Structure 1
Amino acid sequence: MTDVDRVPSWPELILLMCFGESEEPSFTGVVEVDDRYEDEDTGEGAPRRLLRVHKSGPRYRVETLDGELVHIQGADRGWTFHPGSDTPGLIKIDDEYTGHSYDYAIARPNPTRWRGNDFTTPTGPAVSTTYLGRAAWQVEIAPPPHKPVSITLVIDAATGMQLRWGSDEFGDVFRWTDIDHGVELADDLFTWDGPFHFAYSDPDELPDDIQEMVERGDAERREKVAALQLPDISVRLSASPEVFNVGDDGSFHAMFDLSGYLVVERRPHSTGAWEDDDPRGYEMWTDGPWDWRMRLSDEIDPEQLDAIRGQLARLS
């Protein structure tokens, strides 16, 4: 444990914040964050909000005080929820940060966080203090040249957890308002078994089990598409010329854009409306057990509708 009778150096505090000195106790707490820091250019977003956090080692779960999920961080993946949606985005865990205002309050920082001059250098030695009843170290962090004031950083002396980051002039980026250490937290708090979408920038980064699930889904989809036996559709396209150059001798350079398209949908016959509320015009009909609807691009003459329907008839 950290010797609170001896003032640690700044490099020692960085090691404490990044790695700790012993097994990190699990805890449940409430953190106040300033969401304006998610968009420094516009300052948009709710100025402040309180979030309940359950944390066990590197895993954590973030909720609103009403119990609405915000983020779940597992051992090797995370799920980020957006307001009003029950389907989170699955993200890779390649570092501790998910791009949200609460990251620095919850996750241990990477040592590279303290490179450069953007609030990385203390103005003096740490000062012993108490925060939420726990021994802590308070450090004033010098601003970079383009910012006006220093930042106060409060660090838990035992765990290295960042307890407050802010200034009296501009308020806190985050500060913990309640922490209950040593609570037992169930493993299912840190996983999600419901539907999700992929928020990965690179599909190769998917965990092995998720990659296998994606490949199975792709194979099943290919089988379903093959079973449909959709025919090739032949249509006549029309386009007006776009003339780029014309010479006095009758020479010219022109383009005819024939990039037409056809949107076709089929569903089992129903008296209800189609699921989406698309305001664009569709040709709709029923043939046997199926309802159909079709939309043509401007390049396709609507007089071809019957011919196109005839080519699709064998699917009914």
Structure 2
Amino acid sequence: MTAWIEVLTAMTTDSTIPMRGTIEEIHEAGSPESFRQGFAYSGTPPVLIAPEDSCRVWRYGKKTRVERLDGSPIFISDGVRAWDFTGSVDRPRVGPPGRVIYLGPSQFLSQQRSTAEWTGNEFAQPISTVETVEFAGRNCWTVQLAPPDGKPYPLRIWVDVESGFILGDRIDEAGVGSQFVEVTVGEPIDDGVFVWDGPAYTTEEYQEQLEEDYRARQREQARWFTENVASTPVIVRAPLDFTPGDVHINKVGDGSFETNNRRTLLGRRRRSEDGWLPKWGVTHFVWSTAEWDWAAGAMDVELDDVAVVELQHALHPDETVERLRRIGRPDRRS
């Protein structure tokens, strides 16, 4: 009978045996997907890369390549650098493997768990004897691992005897898992498989690009608001500036929207028989014009009747206002 320490040693020792294969996810109809492995970190949040339902994997020591079935890359690491292609296949994010992390249901089939992870309680301690079986056409050890607090079911793993690679894991009671459906162990792999030589963003460059994209969206939203709602700053007593920071335009394209900035909320919907009652957590006013149901509120001050009249004059100066009423905060009486 094989001892657990022998299996553990095989899984935590850097393998000098190359491996490649195809992973498929197992999701039985109606099964929950919340029993999978967790993840924690401290300091700057890492890049987390969730795998596809099916993917191809190459592994050699600390080197890894994961790609979609169509050949487009998802994650590449030469052991020193790691590239994340989930944002762009033409220009990935790059950083050290400790900050660019492949995470998800098949993570332990794609990369090696550290020795420290096996000393914890996240599917790390055996609760059954080790058996030797055939799995994915390979001679494997299999054992059940105890679930951590908050997760009800154990995880069974299959470990390749020759290489120490995990070739499958499954939570039988939940009907979820990952497994290699085809695998080749021991054939040489060109080192070029584990390197990206094209352009890449550093973490800082990528963050700058996200911020610029956000600013561009804000400019476009502000332009839409100016053209479709109010062409001048929308400021009323207090003073309260209703000029939007973000404009959430109704995808139907009927002119409905909701806006917010650090202090105010404003929106409209096509007029309906019952009017519009947005679920805002602040005191706000609602009213109707011939075409629209409107709503406006403020975060840290409460609008009064005079301020609402000023706002209505700024938004639709020549239109008749109907059904005006004040809606109190849900946690206090109006």
Q: Give the TM-score normalised by structure 2.
A: 0.51
Contact 2:82–2:100 under 8 Å retained in 1: no
Aligned counterpart, 2:55: 51
AA partner of residue 121 (structure 2): N
Contact 2:51–2:103 under 8 Å retained in 1: no
Change (3 A) 1:112 1:72: same
- 1:141 pairs with 139, 145, 151, which one? 145
**Radius of gyration: which is bigger?**
1
Aligned counterpart, 1:122: 126
Aligned counterpart, 2:64: 60
Aligned equivalents of 1:55, 1:145: Cα separation in 2: 32
Contact 1:96–1:103 under 8 Å retained in 2: no
Change (3 A) 1:28 1:119: closer
- What's the CA shift for 1:40? 4.5
> Pairwise mapping of residues 100-115 of structure 1 onto structure 2 (< 5 A)?
100-115=104-119
AA partner of residue 16 (structure 2): E
- What's the CA shift for 1:26? 1.1
Aligned counterpart, 1:11: 5
- What's the CA shift for 1:195? 1.3
Per-residue CA distance 1:1-49 (angstroms, 9 max, x = gap): xxxxx412x23322211115xx5211221012369xxx949xxxx9962
Gaps of 5+ in 1: 1-5, 204-237, 244-254, 258-316
- 1:156 pairs with 160, 165, 177, which one? 160
Aligned equivalents of 2:26, 2:203: Cα separation in 1: 24
Aligned equivalents of 2:114, 2:51: Cα separation in 1: 27
Contact 2:75–2:102 under 8 Å retained in 1: no
Contact 2:156–2:169 under 8 Å retained in 1: yes
- What's the CA shift for 1:122? 1.3
> Pairwise mapping of residues 18-97 of structure 1 onto structure 2 (< 5 A)?
18-19=12-13, 23-33=15-25, 40=34, 49-82=53-86, 85-94=89-98, 97=101
Contact 1:34–1:173 under 8 Å retained in 2: yes
- Which secondary structure does the structure 1 equivalent of 2:102 belong to? coil
Task: Confirm or deny that 1:192 pairs with 2:196.
Answer: yes
Aligned equivalents of 1:24, 1:122: Cα separation in 2: 26
Gaps of 5+ in 2: 28-32, 36-49, 208-232, 242-334
Aligned equivalents of 2:57, 2:142: Cα separation in 1: 23
Change (3 A) 1:101 1:140: closer
Contact 2:127–2:145 under 8 Å retained in 1: yes
Aligned equivalents of 2:51, 2:112: Cα separation in 1: 24
- Coordinate RMSD, CA, aligned: 4.0
- Which secondary structure does the structure 2 equivalent of 1:179 belong to? strand
Contact 2:51–2:106 under 8 Å retained in 1: no
AA partner of residue 10 (structure 2): L
Aligned equivalents of 1:113, 1:148: Cα separation in 2: 20
- Which secondary structure does the structure 1 equivalent of 2:123 belong to? coil
Aligned equivalents of 1:13, 1:200: Cα separation in 2: 40
Equivalent residue pairs, number: 206
- What's the CA shift for 1:114? 2.0
- Which secondary structure does the structure 2 equivalent of 1:29 belong to? strand
